[in-house]
Protein backbone atom coordinates (compact mmCIF):
# COMPACT_ATOMS: atom_id res chain seq x y z
CA UNK A 1 0.00 0.00 0.00
CA UNK A 2 1.27 3.46 -0.90
CA UNK A 3 1.66 5.78 2.05
CA UNK A 4 0.97 9.36 1.12
CA UNK A 5 3.60 11.87 2.15
CA UNK A 6 2.65 15.27 3.52
CA UNK A 7 3.59 17.71 0.79
CA UNK A 8 5.21 20.90 2.05
CA UNK A 9 4.67 22.83 -1.19
CA UNK A 10 2.01 22.64 -3.86
CA UNK A 11 3.29 20.81 -6.92
CA UNK A 12 2.57 22.16 -10.38
CA UNK A 13 1.35 19.65 -12.94
CA UNK A 14 1.21 20.31 -16.66
CA UNK A 15 -1.26 18.20 -18.64
CA UNK A 16 -0.59 18.31 -22.35
CA UNK A 17 -3.61 17.09 -24.32
CA UNK A 18 -5.90 18.16 -21.51
CA UNK A 19 -9.17 18.24 -23.48
CA UNK A 20 -9.00 14.64 -24.68
CA UNK A 21 -11.03 11.96 -22.93
CA UNK A 22 -8.12 10.86 -20.76
CA UNK A 23 -6.60 14.30 -20.31
CA UNK A 24 -9.82 15.86 -19.06
CA UNK A 25 -10.57 12.88 -16.80
CA UNK A 26 -7.11 13.09 -15.22
CA UNK A 27 -7.36 16.86 -14.83
CA UNK A 28 -10.74 16.73 -13.12
CA UNK A 29 -9.65 13.98 -10.74
CA UNK A 30 -6.34 15.47 -9.59
CA UNK A 31 -7.82 18.98 -9.33
CA UNK A 32 -9.28 17.75 -6.03
CA UNK A 33 -5.77 17.31 -4.65
CA UNK A 34 -3.02 19.71 -3.52
CA UNK A 35 -1.85 20.56 -7.02
CA UNK A 36 -1.66 23.55 -9.32
CA UNK A 37 -2.73 22.58 -12.85
CA UNK A 38 -1.49 23.99 -16.14
CA UNK A 39 -3.60 22.70 -19.01
CA UNK A 40 -2.57 22.66 -22.66
CA UNK A 41 -4.64 21.64 -25.67
CA UNK A 42 -5.07 22.80 -29.26
CA UNK A 43 -8.70 23.87 -29.00
CA UNK A 44 -8.93 26.96 -26.81
CA UNK A 45 -12.73 26.87 -26.67
CA UNK A 46 -12.64 23.36 -25.23
CA UNK A 47 -9.84 24.43 -22.89
CA UNK A 48 -11.89 27.31 -21.50
CA UNK A 49 -14.88 25.00 -21.00
CA UNK A 50 -12.72 22.44 -19.17
CA UNK A 51 -11.24 25.07 -16.85
CA UNK A 52 -14.75 26.31 -15.99
CA UNK A 53 -15.94 22.74 -15.42
CA UNK A 54 -13.06 22.00 -13.06
CA UNK A 55 -13.59 25.24 -11.15
CA UNK A 56 -17.28 24.40 -10.82
CA UNK A 57 -16.59 20.89 -9.50
CA UNK A 58 -13.60 21.89 -7.35
CA UNK A 59 -13.95 25.57 -6.36
CA UNK A 60 -10.60 25.56 -4.54
CA UNK A 61 -8.72 24.19 -7.53
CA UNK A 62 -5.85 26.26 -8.91
CA UNK A 63 -6.09 25.70 -12.66
CA UNK A 64 -5.28 27.68 -15.78
CA UNK A 65 -4.71 27.15 -19.48
CA UNK A 66 -1.43 27.81 -21.30
CA UNK A 67 -0.75 28.32 -24.97
CA UNK A 68 2.20 26.01 -25.63
CA UNK A 69 3.67 22.78 -24.23
CA UNK A 70 7.07 24.39 -23.63
CA UNK A 71 5.57 27.10 -21.42
CA UNK A 72 3.50 24.58 -19.48
CA UNK A 73 6.44 22.24 -18.98
CA UNK A 74 8.81 25.02 -17.95
CA UNK A 75 6.67 25.85 -14.92
CA UNK A 76 5.72 22.28 -14.05
CA UNK A 77 7.16 19.83 -11.55
CA UNK A 78 5.34 16.94 -13.26
CA UNK A 79 4.38 16.74 -16.93
CA UNK A 80 1.59 14.42 -18.07
CA UNK A 81 1.53 13.63 -21.78
CA UNK A 82 -2.15 12.77 -22.21
CA UNK A 83 -1.69 12.21 -25.92
CA UNK A 84 -1.42 9.26 -28.34
CA UNK A 85 1.92 7.55 -28.89
CA UNK A 86 2.69 9.32 -32.18
CA UNK A 87 2.02 12.70 -30.58
CA UNK A 88 4.53 11.95 -27.81
CA UNK A 89 7.25 11.86 -30.44
CA UNK A 90 6.17 15.28 -31.75
CA UNK A 91 5.96 16.91 -28.31
CA UNK A 92 9.20 15.52 -26.85
CA UNK A 93 11.55 17.85 -28.80
CA UNK A 94 9.46 20.86 -27.76
CA UNK A 95 9.82 20.12 -24.03
CA UNK A 96 13.22 18.38 -23.94
CA UNK A 97 15.19 21.23 -22.38
CA UNK A 98 12.58 22.40 -19.89
CA UNK A 99 11.69 18.82 -18.85
CA UNK A 100 15.24 18.00 -17.74
CA UNK A 101 15.26 16.19 -14.35
CA UNK A 102 11.46 16.43 -14.18
CA UNK A 103 8.91 13.63 -14.01
CA UNK A 104 7.19 13.01 -17.35
CA UNK A 105 4.24 10.61 -17.33
CA UNK A 106 3.44 8.57 -20.43
CA UNK A 107 -0.13 7.26 -20.58
CA UNK A 108 0.06 6.16 -24.21
CA UNK A 109 -0.76 2.71 -25.56
CA UNK A 110 0.91 2.30 -28.98
CA UNK A 111 -1.99 0.47 -30.64
CA UNK A 112 -2.15 -0.15 -34.35
CA UNK A 113 -5.18 0.91 -36.37
CA UNK A 114 -6.81 -2.53 -36.19
CA UNK A 115 -6.32 -2.92 -32.44
CA UNK A 116 -4.72 -6.32 -33.02
CA UNK A 117 -1.18 -5.38 -32.05
CA UNK A 118 1.25 -2.66 -31.03
CA UNK A 119 3.25 -0.46 -33.38
CA UNK A 120 6.31 -0.54 -31.15
CA UNK A 121 9.01 -3.10 -31.91
CA UNK A 122 9.41 -6.18 -29.70
CA UNK A 123 11.60 -5.46 -26.71
CA UNK A 124 10.51 -1.87 -26.20
CA UNK A 125 7.48 0.23 -25.24
CA UNK A 126 6.03 3.68 -25.74
CA UNK A 127 7.46 4.75 -22.38
CA UNK A 128 10.94 3.45 -23.18
CA UNK A 129 10.90 5.19 -26.55
CA UNK A 130 9.91 8.42 -24.79
CA UNK A 131 12.82 7.97 -22.39
CA UNK A 132 15.16 7.85 -25.40
CA UNK A 133 13.72 11.15 -26.62
CA UNK A 134 13.92 12.72 -23.14
CA UNK A 135 17.10 11.16 -21.72
CA UNK A 136 17.40 13.66 -18.86
CA UNK A 137 13.79 13.30 -17.69
CA UNK A 138 12.32 10.77 -15.26
CA UNK A 139 9.83 8.88 -17.41
CA UNK A 140 7.05 7.06 -15.57
CA UNK A 141 4.34 4.89 -17.07
CA UNK A 142 0.94 5.47 -15.45
CA UNK A 143 -2.79 5.60 -16.25
CA UNK A 144 -2.39 3.52 -19.42
CA UNK A 145 -4.38 0.62 -17.93
CA UNK A 146 -7.34 2.82 -17.00
CA UNK A 147 -10.15 4.07 -19.22
CA UNK A 148 -11.46 7.62 -19.04
CA UNK A 149 -14.77 6.30 -17.68
CA UNK A 150 -12.95 4.66 -14.77
CA UNK A 151 -12.16 8.06 -13.26
CA UNK A 152 -15.82 8.68 -12.48
CA UNK A 153 -16.14 5.24 -10.87
CA UNK A 154 -12.73 4.11 -9.53
CA UNK A 155 -14.42 1.76 -7.06
CA UNK A 156 -16.12 -1.34 -8.50
CA UNK A 157 -18.03 -3.75 -6.26
CA UNK A 158 -16.49 -2.12 -3.22
CA UNK A 159 -12.89 -2.41 -4.43
CA UNK A 160 -10.63 0.29 -5.85
CA UNK A 161 -9.50 -0.22 -9.41
CA UNK A 162 -5.76 -0.86 -9.59
CA UNK A 163 -3.59 1.55 -11.57
CA UNK A 164 -0.11 0.35 -12.39
CA UNK A 165 3.00 2.51 -12.29
CA UNK A 166 6.42 1.71 -13.77
CA UNK A 167 9.67 3.62 -13.88
CA UNK A 168 13.36 3.63 -13.05
CA UNK A 169 13.47 6.38 -10.42
CA UNK A 170 12.20 5.39 -6.96
CA UNK A 171 11.32 8.92 -5.85
CA UNK A 172 9.47 9.56 -9.09
CA UNK A 173 7.52 6.32 -8.64
CA UNK A 174 6.46 7.38 -5.16
CA UNK A 175 5.42 10.84 -6.37
CA UNK A 176 3.36 9.45 -9.24
CA UNK A 177 1.81 6.83 -6.95
CA UNK A 178 0.56 9.66 -4.75
CA UNK A 179 -0.91 11.32 -7.82
CA UNK A 180 -2.65 8.08 -8.80
CA UNK A 181 -4.06 7.72 -5.29
CA UNK A 182 -5.40 11.28 -5.44
CA UNK A 183 -7.21 10.26 -8.62
CA UNK A 184 -9.05 7.60 -6.62
CA UNK A 185 -7.20 4.49 -7.82
CA UNK A 186 -5.12 1.95 -5.95
CA UNK A 187 -1.54 2.53 -7.14
CA UNK A 188 0.64 -0.53 -7.70
CA UNK A 189 4.31 -0.09 -8.52
CA UNK A 190 4.81 -2.79 -11.14
CA UNK A 191 8.56 -2.45 -11.69
CA UNK A 192 11.09 -0.55 -13.74
CA UNK A 193 10.35 1.15 -17.04
CA UNK A 194 10.78 -2.07 -19.05
CA UNK A 195 7.60 -3.35 -17.36
CA UNK A 196 5.77 -0.80 -19.52
CA UNK A 197 5.92 -3.42 -22.28
CA UNK A 198 3.72 -5.70 -20.19
CA UNK A 199 1.40 -2.89 -19.13
CA UNK A 200 0.84 -1.75 -22.69
CA UNK A 201 0.14 -5.33 -23.79
CA UNK A 202 -2.23 -5.76 -20.84
CA UNK A 203 -4.34 -2.87 -22.01
CA UNK A 204 -4.25 -4.11 -25.59
CA UNK A 205 -5.66 -7.41 -24.32
CA UNK A 206 -8.43 -5.72 -22.34
CA UNK A 207 -9.40 -3.63 -25.35
CA UNK A 208 -9.46 -6.72 -27.58
CA UNK A 209 -11.59 -8.64 -25.08
CA UNK A 210 -13.93 -5.68 -24.79
CA UNK A 211 -14.38 -5.51 -28.54
CA UNK A 212 -14.85 -9.27 -28.86
CA UNK A 213 -17.14 -9.89 -25.91
CA UNK A 214 -18.75 -6.48 -25.44
CA UNK A 215 -17.22 -6.11 -21.98
CA UNK A 216 -18.13 -3.13 -19.85
CA UNK A 217 -15.43 -0.50 -20.41
CA UNK A 218 -15.65 0.38 -16.71
CA UNK A 219 -14.21 -3.02 -15.86
CA UNK A 220 -10.72 -1.88 -14.92
CA UNK A 221 -7.89 -4.10 -13.74
CA UNK A 222 -8.10 -5.54 -10.24
CA UNK A 223 -5.57 -7.84 -8.63
CA UNK A 224 -6.99 -10.18 -5.99
CA UNK A 225 -5.05 -10.09 -2.74
CA UNK A 226 -5.11 -12.83 -0.10
pLDDT at position 21 is 95
What are the φ and ψ backbone dihedral angles of 147, each rounded to 5 degrees?
Answer: -95, 155
d(C-alpha 187, C-alpha 173), whole Å: 10
Contact assessment for residue 47 and residue 73, using Cβ atoms and an 8 Å cutoff:
no
Residue 220 has pLDDT above 60, yes or no: no
pLDDT digits (tens, 9 = 90+) for 137-183: 999 999 999 999 889 888 877 888 999 999 999 999 999 999 999 99
Strand order in the sheet with 11-16: 62-65, 35-40, 11-16, 78-81, 103-106, 138-141, 162-167, 186-191
Cβ(139)–Cβ(156) below 8 Å: no
Is CATH 3.40.50.740 correct for 11-213?
Answer: no
Q: Supply the Cα-derived Rg of the chain in whole angstroms.
A: 16
Coil/strand/helix, residue 85: helix
Percent of the chain at pLDDT exceeding 70: 91
Q: How far is CA 206 from the centre of its chain?
A: 18
Q: Distance of CA 144 to CAs 42, 55, 174, Å?
A: 22, 26, 17
pTM of the model: 0.91
pLDDT, the chain, mean:
91
Name the residue ranges covered by the structural domains of the chain: 11-213
At 209, is the pLDDT very low, low, confident or very high (cuts 50, 70, 90)?
Answer: confident
Helix (H, G, I), strand (E, B) or coil at 179: helix
Amino acid sequence: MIKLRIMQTKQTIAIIGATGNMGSAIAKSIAKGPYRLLLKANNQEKMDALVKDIQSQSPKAEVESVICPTEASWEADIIILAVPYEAEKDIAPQIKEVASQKIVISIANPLNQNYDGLVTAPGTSAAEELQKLLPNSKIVKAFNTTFAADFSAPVINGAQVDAFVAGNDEEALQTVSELVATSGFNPIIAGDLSVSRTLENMQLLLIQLGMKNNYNWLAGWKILHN
